[in-house]
Every structure is written in structure tokens, then in C-alpha cells.
Amino acid sequence: CERQFTQLKYLLSHQQTHILSEPVSCDQCDKHFKRRYDLLRHKRRSHADNAMYECDICHKTFNDRTVASKHRLIHTDDFKYCCEVCNRPFKYVHDLKRHRSIHFDEKPFDCEICGKKFKHKSNLKTHQATHYSTKPYSCTLCDKRFHQKGNLKTHLIVHTGEMPFVCNIC
């Protein structure tokens, strides 16, 4: 549908409509996905008839060269952790845990003041500042003020009518 949105949060909210209420499973392996799009991408990359890239160590085949290259890293000593969804390798388990939130929408960091949850600790810290600080960033076109410069930039789109965020799923 190529739907367009003025703010990233509206695009992300729209993309939630593409997430299934029940996870879907790949019929060729034991992987599960929250979004139909992720299942289709997985099948295209991992199970397509035209899989041309084979791992010379474990002989798993891929039809996407980038995915195959990333997969090969799990056989090295440096990259011993691997995402079970997209095969992306990681040196450290904490990096894998942070990455998993992309696929599973995990939000382990809670704001002690309002209870809002976040995927990353840095996002929680940014949010917590909103409970204590003043709003130093003001819009020159109206009276609105913001805690963060990025929020002011996002707000300015209201005045321009620009819609820079496009849904790439539907």
C-alpha cells in the first residue's frame, strides 16, 4: 500500500497491524515468527529452491549471499552466539539479547516512575529525563516546547506537511 506517515511512531503503530496475534511457524524448520513478512523473508532466504550459497562447514544452504556470510561467522571462535531467527552472529551474549528484541518485541527496561517499558537501557534513560527536566527546545512557528531536540525536529513536520515515513511491509 506504500502508506506514508508524518512521524515514525505512526508508521511503527501501523506496522503493528501486520503483526499476527498468533505466531506463525515455518513448515520446513522449527522457527516461529510474529509477522507474516518475516516468515516469507525467512523462507525466501533459507528454503528457496534456488539456494546457491552453501556453508562449507555445516552445509546449510542460503539463497542470500549476505545471510550466508553472516552465518559462516558462527563457526569462528569470535562469533559464538547466533540469532535463531535471522542467523546474525554475535561475539557477546548481551549483544544477542539486545538484538532479539527486534524479533520478539521484548522490553526488559522499566521506568520506575511511570512504568513505561523500553527495549534498550539508553531509551529508558532518555525517557527518565522527561520526568525531571525542563523543555529547552521550542518551536519557532508555534508555542510548543520539547525535552529533546529530535522531538522538535519531528514536530516541525506538522508545519511542512512532509510525510517521510513509508510502510515497506504492505
**Structural domain that includes position 58:** 50-101
Residue 96 included in any domain:
yes
Residue 132 included in any domain:
no
The answer to whether residue 106 scores a pLDDT higher than 90 is no
The answer to whether residue 33 scores a pLDDT higher than 70 is yes
Query: Does the pTM exceed 0.75?
Result: no
Going by pLDDT thresholds of 50, 70 and 90, the confidence category of residue 20 is low
- The SS3 of residue 97 is helix
Going by pLDDT thresholds of 50, 70 and 90, the confidence category of residue 51 is low
Integer-rounded Cα Rg, in Å, for the chain is 20
- Residue 9, pLDDT score: 78
- Is residue 68 within 8 A of residue 56, CB to CB? The reply is no
Residue 81 included in any domain:
yes
Residue 34 included in any domain:
no
In Å, what is the CA distance from 70 to each residue of 9, 78, 93, 105, 143? 30, 12, 16, 23, 49
- The SS3 of residue 126 is helix
Residue 71 included in any domain:
yes
Q: What is the CATH number of the domain that holds 63?
A: 3.30.160
> How many structural domains is the chain composed of?
1
The answer to whether residue 101 scores a pLDDT higher than 90 is no
- Residue 139, pLDDT score: 93
